[in-house]
Structure 1
Amino acid sequence: MVRRFSPHVLRTVTDLDGVWDFAYLGDVDPDDVALDDLAFDDAMAVPGCFDATPAYAGRRGLAAYRTRVLTRAGRQRLVFDGVQHWCRVYWNGRPIRDHAGGFTRFWAETDAQGGEAEITVLVDNRFGDRSPLHMEHFDWYHFGGISRGVELHVLDGVRIDGLEIDTLSVAERRIEVRIGYTAETASAPLTIECDGRALLAESVDLDPSGSITRTLEIPWAAPWSPADPNLSLLTVTLGEDDQRERFGLREIATANGRITVNGEPVRLLGVNRHELHPQFGHTQPESLVVADVQQLRDLGCNFVRGSHYPMDPLFLDLCDESGILVWSESIGWQYPVEHLTDPAFVDAQLAHIDEMVAAARNHPSIILWGVLNECPSWSEDGRPVYAKLLGRLRELDATRPVTYASLNAHDDQCFDLVDVVSANTYPGWYFGGLADIPAELDRIAARVDALGHADKPLIISEIGAGAVPGWNDAGGSLWTEDYQAALLATVIDHITEGQDRISGLGIWVMGDFTTTEHREMALKRPRGLNDKGLVDEYRRPKQSYRVVRERFRR
């Protein structure tokens, strides 16, 4: 797992990224698999998506990964940053954890003696009841595999399970620190340092599991903001275990129709971003992540929406450093009402949201939590689900606004449930022409205000047009780079100069990406890609890139 800082110094951590043994099993029920009978006849990169490799491109089925590691005796915690879509983890042939849903961190634990251990992971990229969050009709290709990094942590009798840092007051440089733990002893020494300075040293009584909360002041720390993204490093030691987290002093709020950072209103100008690549699937090599952030900065973006799932931790680290504001949302795309109201689906979403927030809440760049992109927020049956999921986000983190991207702002019934109203719309593409764009944007704003939400920030969370890379004609017709550039120029000019109600823009989308093989969708996508990107799938800029760059950097 590549991060921009080391989360542990004292804890024994082994990086398991590399090349694992691999076997593609195909259309097999995981419950019917006998590990001793598996023939590992290939190798696979971890992290990586097996169905993005030449030998297994486009295949859906069960696969098996295997590696071996030397470890000392103790509690073994296998930490996965993301597996697509369902997996079962084995330690020396014994199952220790099932997990469903990609893009979020989870762990599997067991007690073990020291020596060599064999780790096997069954990975299933098929659609079905085992993984209710992933559906074939989604407008992106669901790659499968151990798509993000893996580590082995060896734990002692006292172990830190989570570390949360919230800003209580920027002006007074005051933070609240919460330490989740599991303990096999009744007490342990606790120390907290920030930026190498001692803040606290004491002995604490411990329950078998629980949390410790402390309020601390760091008077030397400078606030974090998009213009000046100052970061601090907090180190907690509890017994023989430790946890380190980067954070920034900053307060996010809404006021007078704007999102504010440390009391200052900001207008969000940015893009949506998928984590997809033709050669790597959902896996994000470090060089690709760095290049993406460089392009965001070059464009003049101060905002990016993670579409439509939680982003890679390294990407968030780089956004923290660059002052790029992030909307982080749970996985979803146009779930039908009957799926949205299935109790198993709701439970899976709640678990996914819990993991998303736990992994990312300390990133100062994240200013919004979101759920359920383009789902039935227009439906009476859908409303209780929105209320439940948004409510869970507020329970987990009361310091950030919550939102969702509405598919049809004119019929939406859930805007009262959010702090920030967000609308996806495609005038000039799916309906109307270029001349109709300003009026449609104004009509959405008027609708939101008429519902009594004039005080809430309004974000146009998706808008754009397709462009086949390199294609132009004399008429500037649909699918040409000329047309895409003209449409986005019209959008940006109106939002930045033609009105003052819309407080944020997320262009759809940063880069072209592979879409589903579902025939109804594939027939609408030239080259099998959603090609509304400012850059193509290999990050080569289209004409629209320069048009957006010129306007965002004014």
Structure 2
Amino acid sequence: MSTMGEDRHKQSLAFSVAATVGLMLFCYASGFGHPHTPGWTPMSSIVSGSTTSTSSQALSGEWRFAIDPSAIGRTAGWFKPSFDDASWATVTVPHTWNVMPDYADYAGLAWYRRRFAAPATARDMHLRLRFEAVFYLAHVWLNGIYLGVHEGGYTPFEFDVTEIVNAGAENLIAVQVDNRRATDRIPATLYAGWSYDWWNYGGIVRDVELYLSGRAFIAQQRVIAVPHLVAAHQADRATITVTVGLRNALSHAIDGVLSGDVLDDATGHSALSSQPSLSVTLPPGERLDVQLATTVPQPTLWHFDRPHLYRWSAALRTADGAVLHTADVQFGIRSVALKDARLYFNGEPVRLVGLTRHADSPEHGLAEPLTVMAADYADLKTLNTVLTRPVHYPQAKFIMEYADRAGILFLPEVPVWQLTAKQMANPHIRALVRQQLREMITAHWNHPSVFAWSVGNEVQSKTPAGHEFIRDMIAYVKSLDPTRPVGFASNRLDRHPETDATAFADFVMMNQYFGTWGGPKDELSAALDAIHAAWPDKPIIISEYGFEPRWQRLRKRPILRRSQYYLLPEDVAADSEAADVLRRQLIVDQMAVMRQKPFLAGAIFWTYQDYRTPTDYKMGVVDAQRRRRGSWRTLRDEYAPVLIDSVSVSPPAESVQHAVVVLRARGPIERDMPAYTLRGYRLHWTVAGKKDGRIVSEG
């Protein structure tokens, strides 16, 4: 199905289905099939075992674990290989102790230890010990030698352990972890009794690996892919510029040649007629950044409905042609532009929708297995999530790869949550925020799903310190990545928006809770108009809207017009059907208002699932166990990109009836959302028994 331009609301699709008399045809617009099925297998990080490419030794799995409430571990030598940890618990990393019944509420120090055998070939290789994430503060030792400390719970970090690993022998990793909340950490406690509203899951929460390569190697690659558009979703060429970080860990200089190729990820075939190359000289013990550039003719663009990917494959060779190292990175070619208060994707103005999701489940906490992440994001795609702000912190590598392959636009953020003016002026906090921004951008640069960055959420953005902080952090992000827009989520735009630090952002991110915390229901429309008047060229994305049934317990306010609020009686449970009825009504009401604002480019519902929080919020369309509430279907219907115009069923004729269903894409874009051109979609239909619901035919 394809609908184009301003006539999209006039376009329709009719189809007929023959059904046996006495049966019922089910065809929901919200069940319209997405053209891409995200049933994929992620690429392994293990490339090969040779010295000409990077191999990895997985160090997740069984570790020894013990809490250290009295902080005796260092003094007692818990980091030493000779220490006997036989009495410690055995856990499986990724792991958080806050899902263990005995330690569910424990905040403090804990230790992890793991023994592993390194291959004998490691003695001639460069070795890096990499942690994808440890929450929150991690001190790391290898074979009793202190490697260093990392602060921040959601970004990867690594250590050069080339001279420390015992090749062909046993090694011991020890990690001391601290998950305590504090006012000078990111995320931060704000003041006594009030802190960030998700759980501080302590532990080695993501994978651990030992990376092995030759001692002259490709350390990092950043791809910039710029299509030359000739029409919406069509480009006659794309310019590819790759910054390649080369490292020479040898004691002598190397003269070599760096070359690259662009491969179609689906076919493995080269997209280039000739491969770029560059002669390089690598000084001993140094890192060198160089650039290669090329052009891809007639590229297939990445789109959330058609997420086509390419691979950049680089090779470092000696001057006589011997391969020193090879490395691949995945990327996509797409265009994002913000102009005239609209979001243009690959040259087409679009209005998009989605949900947020916390990395959290009762069984695993933050240390999620792939099965949980894949199931949740598949369900998010069922809800037509094509735009999301993945809550307040960087996500796991698997989720980023999933978004690339399944087609979800991400707006990643560091956990700068509701900072006060005093905190934003604190040099230590500012340095921590820069560090986490740098680590997030470095880790996620090449993902085509990342269309913009966010520097924080709901800070005191109308204060002088808030203005300076937001301005400086946006400038810092642009110094690292000048190719993407930058914003932050503000909850202070409902009154006098022109005084907010959003003035420094490329687009508006508004957290709005009208009908609850934000004020009366009927003030939403005027608030959106006032924001547009303050910045008429900036598109607005509703970065949060949703419903917490017990919202009054956090912000008591006199309710003079009860009909203007979504109020749950105090004697009714927050996870009751009555509470969800209010959530459904809020979704319908607010989507109706937001659709009428053409300058509103997107809306993101908070949140997909209930998650563990000190305030016991119940804001999900599914509960913590992923049981769907009625609001799940309401949101799916509201987020459907197509509508059913009519259904007509013919009279029975020889025990056969025909049903004709007329569908149309949402639009026009000025008055509807989601709104974008649909191509390659599939219609799924089902015929079921009217009495027993038994499916007798489908297609």
- What's the TM-score, normalizing by structure 1? 0.91
Say what the alpha-carbon RMSD is for the aligned residues.
Answer: 2.2
Aligned match of 2:113: 66
Matched, 1:494 2:597: no
2:484 to 396, 400, 410: 400
1:346 to 430, 439, 464: 430
- Any idea what the Cα deviations from partners look like across 1:33-61, whole Å, max 9, x if unmatched? 52245645111211111221223211111
1:273 aligned counterpart, secondary structure: coil
Q: Which deviates more, 408-417 or 537-546?
A: 408-417
Q: What letter corresponds to residue 287 of structure 1 in structure 2?
A: T
Q: Per-residue deviation at 1:131?
A: 4.0
Q: Which deviates more, 41-50 or 405-414?
A: 405-414
Q: Which deviates more, 80-89 or 335-344?
A: 335-344
Q: Name the count of aligned residue pairs.
A: 530
Q: Per-residue deviation at 1:502?
A: 1.5
- Any idea what the Cα deviations from partners look like across 1:129-165, whole Å, max 9, x if unmatched? 7845443610111101010111101233212221111
For the residues of structure 2 that align with 1:356 and 1:407, how far apart are their CA atoms? 24
1:47 to 94, 101, 105: 94
- Any idea what the Cα deviations from partners look like across 1:8-38, whole Å, max 9, x if unmatched? 4421310111011112112417764522456
For the residues of structure 1 that align with 2:278 and 2:219, how far apart are their CA atoms? 19
1:483 to 579, 582, 594: 582
1:378 aligned counterpart, secondary structure: coil
The aligned runs of 1:296-375 (5 Å cut-off) are 296-375=380-459
Q: Per-residue deviation at 1:221?
A: 3.5
Aligned match of 1:275: 359
For the residues of structure 1 that align with 2:188 and 2:365, how far apart are their CA atoms? 15
CA contact (8 A) 1:53 1:280 kept: no
- Pick closer, same or farther for the CA change 1:477–1:23 going to 2, 3 Å: closer
Q: What letter corresponds to residue 416 of structure 1 in structure 2?
A: A
- Pick closer, same or farther for the CA change 1:515–1:152 going to 2, 3 Å: same
Aligned match of 1:119: 173
Q: Per-residue deviation at 1:334?
A: 0.8
The aligned runs of 1:363-512 (5 Å cut-off) are 363-409=447-493, 410-411=495-496, 412-433=499-520, 436=521, 439-451=522-534, 453-467=535-549, 477=568, 479=574, 480-496=579-595, 498-512=596-610
For the residues of structure 2 that align with 1:346 and 1:161, how far apart are their CA atoms? 28
Uncovered stretches (5+) of structure 2, i.e. residues with no partner = 1-40, 229-234, 318-323, 551-565, 643-699
Aligned match of 2:245: 180
CA contact (8 A) 2:452 2:485 kept: yes
Aligned match of 1:226: 304
CA contact (8 A) 2:188 2:417 kept: no
Q: Per-residue deviation at 1:335?
A: 1.5
Q: What letter corresponds to residue 264 of structure 1 in structure 2?
A: E
- Pick closer, same or farther for the CA change 1:395–1:77 going to 2, 3 Å: same
CA contact (8 A) 1:133 1:348 kept: no
For the residues of structure 1 that align with 2:356 and 2:183, how far apart are their CA atoms? 29
Q: What letter corresponds to residue 501 of structure 1 in structure 2?
A: F
Q: Per-residue deviation at 1:203?
A: 3.7
Q: What letter corresponds to residue 215 of structure 2 in structure 1?
A: G
- Pick closer, same or farther for the CA change 1:179–1:385 going to 2, 3 Å: same
Q: Per-residue deviation at 1:200?
A: 3.3
Matched, 1:206 2:278: no
For the residues of structure 1 that align with 2:127 and 2:568, how far apart are their CA atoms? 59
1:549 to 613, 636, 652: 636
For the residues of structure 2 that align with 1:238 and 1:88, how far apart are their CA atoms? 34
For the residues of structure 2 that align with 1:301 and 1:31, how far apart are their CA atoms? 47
For the residues of structure 2 that align with 1:304 and 1:356, how far apart are their CA atoms? 17
Aligned match of 2:206: 148
For the residues of structure 1 that align with 2:488 and 2:73, how far apart are their CA atoms? 35
CA contact (8 A) 1:380 1:413 kept: no
Matched, 1:192 2:260: yes
Q: Per-residue deviation at 1:449?
A: 2.8
Aligned match of 2:623: 536
Q: Per-residue deviation at 1:476?
A: 8.2
- Any idea what the Cα deviations from partners look like across 1:180-213, whole Å, max 9, x if unmatched? 1221333233232322437234542224112111
Q: Per-residue deviation at 1:507?
A: 0.8
- What's the TM-score, normalizing by structure 2? 0.72
1:28 aligned counterpart, secondary structure: coil
For the residues of structure 2 that align with 1:455 and 1:7, how far apart are their CA atoms? 46
Aligned match of 1:525: none
Q: Per-residue deviation at 1:270?
A: 0.8
Q: What letter corresponds to residue 54 of structure 2 in structure 1?
A: R
For the residues of structure 2 that align with 1:29 and 1:486, how far apart are their CA atoms? 54
Q: What letter corresponds to residue 120 of structure 1 in structure 2?
A: A
Aligned match of 1:216: 294
- Any idea what the Cα deviations from partners look like across 1:324-347, whole Å, max 9, x if unmatched? 111101112111221121100000
For the residues of structure 2 that align with 1:538 and 1:380, how far apart are their CA atoms? 43
Matched, 1:100 2:100: no
